[in-house]
């Protein structure tokens, strides 16, 4: 059994909010058109955990999703892009705002801060644990 990896995925809540994911039960995470984000999608394995970040509005991590299906050809493109399926796992008791993330010591190397325009970033196990604590949430 491969070790679970952790990721952070971004979505504008006006486009697809976490509540929508909970409503739908699962969704295809498609439309990614950035090579680095694509590589991250391809590194995902079923069962990996994703922090779900609301960009633009909210600007906070609001929950955890689980990779329900590893990377496959993105059906919304004829070209070589990938998508995964994700399912909701647990909403955070308290959203973890961007301000709080920035203020947090130990998050200096957080990829989503360093590469703020990348929509799919890697999160270390330690960072993930910290996020859960900040969100007052246990899985």
**CB of residue 134 vs DNA: minimum separation in angstroms?**
16
**CB of residue 114 vs DNA: minimum separation in angstroms?**
8
Residue from 14, 73, 93, 116 that binds DNA (CB under 7 A)?
116
Give the residue with the Cβ less far from DNA, 32 or 64. 32
* Residue in the block written with tokens 């960072």: 127
H-helix segments, the chain? 13-16, 18-24, 35-43, 98-103, 111-114, 125-134
Residue from 70, 87, 91, 118 that binds DNA (CB under 7 A)?
118
DSSP state of 105: T
Give the residue with the Cβ less far from DNA, 4 or 14. 14
Distance of CA 78 to the CA centre of its chain: 25
**CB of residue 82 vs DNA: minimum separation in angstroms?**
13
- Based on the shown chain and the rule CB under 7 A, indicate whether residue 117 belongs to the binding site for DNA: yes
Segment 54-113, which members bind DNA (CB under 7 A)?
Answer: 55-56, 59, 98
Q: Which helix (H) or strand (E) holds 10?
A: strand 6-11
**CB of residue 55 vs DNA: minimum separation in angstroms?**
4
Residue 6: CB partners within 8 Å, gap ≥ 6? 48, 49, 50, 51, 122, 123, 124, 125, 127, 128
Binding site for DNA (CB under 7 A): 10, 12, 33-36, 55-56, 59, 98, 115-119
């Amino acid at each position: 059994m491969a070790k679970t990896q952790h990721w952070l995925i971004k979505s504008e809540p006006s486009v697809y909010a976490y509540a929508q994911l909970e409503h739908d039960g699962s969704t295809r995470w498609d439309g990614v058109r950035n090579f680095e984000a694509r590589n991250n999608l391809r590194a995902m394995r079923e069962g990996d955990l994703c922090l779900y970040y609301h960009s633009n509005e909210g600007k906070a991590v609001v929950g955890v999703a689980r990779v329900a299906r590893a990377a496959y050809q993105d059906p919304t493109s004829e070209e070589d892009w990938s998508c995964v399926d994700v399912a909701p796992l647990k909403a955070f008791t308290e959203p973890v705002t961007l301000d709080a993330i920035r203020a947090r010591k130990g998050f200096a190397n957080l990829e989503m801060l360093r590469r703020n325009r990348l929509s799919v970033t890697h999160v270390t196990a330690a960072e993930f644990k910290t996020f859960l604590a900040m969100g007052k949430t246990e899985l």
